[in-house]
Amino acid sequence: MASPNVSLLLVLVSLMCSAAFSSGESTYATGLSENFYDTSCPQAASIVDAFVTKYLQKDRNFAGAFNRLQFHDCWVGGCDGSVLLNSTATNQAEREAHVNFGLRGVAEIDEIKAALEYACPGVVSCADILIMAARDATVKVGGPTWTVATGRRDGVRSTDLMADTNLPFPVLNFSGLVANFAAKGFNAREMITLSGAHTIGRSHCNGILPHLYNFTGKDDVTDTDPAMDKEFSVLLKTLCPQGNRTNTIFIDSTANHFDRLYYKNVLGGRGVFITDSALITDPGSKKVVQSFAKRSSTFFSEFAAAMVKMGDLGVLTGTQGEIRKTCQFVN
């Protein structure tokens, strides 16, 4: 449990953030703009949107995949499309990291890139495609929308160590989550907000097993988080037998629809990951979760603002980086 000072900070941050988010103001990193492709590739946004629609018609869970891709890209060296790069004979790329197990959507982003290369060769970055796809997919499954500023360029460096060092593992406790997000400039409330992305998508059992069989380090069938709803834990153990890393389950009972049910599930002991359950182990954090679970909450608007802020992390602009021809390889 976090210290009383951390809890007090959460309450204060909650009040300040509510005022800030209600203003509707957005700022972008230097070099990004809302009309970046208006002249060079005016059809860029519509092409991305059309492909996202196609993928969601096939599998609505791509919404969760695209959200995860943005987070896993931006959290590691900034929003530069590095998560999309393939490994080489001399380098293990980010996608090979433990924390990126089961990452989806890379081939789909490359398909969008191919269409954009046909329409506007050498113009639209893979980094921007990721950001646009995450927004479009969120909207199409009932979530909020936000304005996407573009102009990012693609990075050329990607290692598994970078990902495993920067991304939060699903076994972090509350203080560990706060520290991880603080390192990227996000406060505790924003961490709780972005955790709400778990309202959509699915996960391999790999990240869930520690919550069910190794919560205190015993590594046996009884070592389950005692705060987890008993019936829910029995269900998860059926779906994720001990040692099975590859089965997939929905993270949320309405995983194909962006809503507030995630927070209600967490409050009811039905958080899939240890990081989900951790959100109610701190009194201040629990109050934020309770507020987001309400129909009248500001979760949607705060989520949109947090995604915009995330999209500003470590961007390459101007002559930095490159515009990849294909997203999985440097030029």
Catalytic residues: 72
Tokens found for residue 260: 């507030």
Residue pair 158/94 in contact by the 8 Å Cβ criterion: yes
d(CA 155, CA 77): 9
- Was 148 annotated as part of a binding site? no
Closest CA to 20 of 320, 324, 305, 313: 305
> Binding residue per annotation — 150?
no
The CB density around residue 23, as the number of other CB atoms within 10 Å, is: 8
Which tokens is 267 given? 């409050």
DSSP 107-149: HHHHHHHHHHHHHSTTTS-HHHHHHHHHHHHHHHTT----PPP
Question: Is position 199 annotated in a ligand binding site?
Answer: yes
Distance of CA 309 to the CA centre of its chain: 13
78 annotated to a ligand binding site: yes
Side-chain half-sphere exposure of 283, counting CA atoms within 13 A:
9
Output 246-251 pairs: Cβ under 8 A, ≥24 positions apart.
Answer: 246/204, 246/205, 246/206, 247/204, 247/205, 248/102, 248/202, 248/203, 248/204, 248/205, 249/202, 249/203, 249/205, 249/208, 250/61, 250/201, 250/202, 251/64, 251/198, 251/199, 251/200, 251/201, 251/202, 251/203
Judge whether 254 is annotated as a binding position. Answer: yes
Query: Quick one: tokens of 207?
Result: 């990240």
220 is in an annotated binding site: no
To the question of whether residue 73 is assigned a binding role by annotation, the answer is yes
Q: State the Cα torsion 13-19-25-27 to the nearest 10°.
A: -20
Binding residue per annotation — 82? yes
Binding-site members for heme b are 198
Binding-site members for Ca(2+) are 73, 76, 78, 80, 82, 94, 199, 252, 254, 259
Binding-site members are 73, 76, 78, 80, 82, 94, 168, 198-199, 252, 254, 259
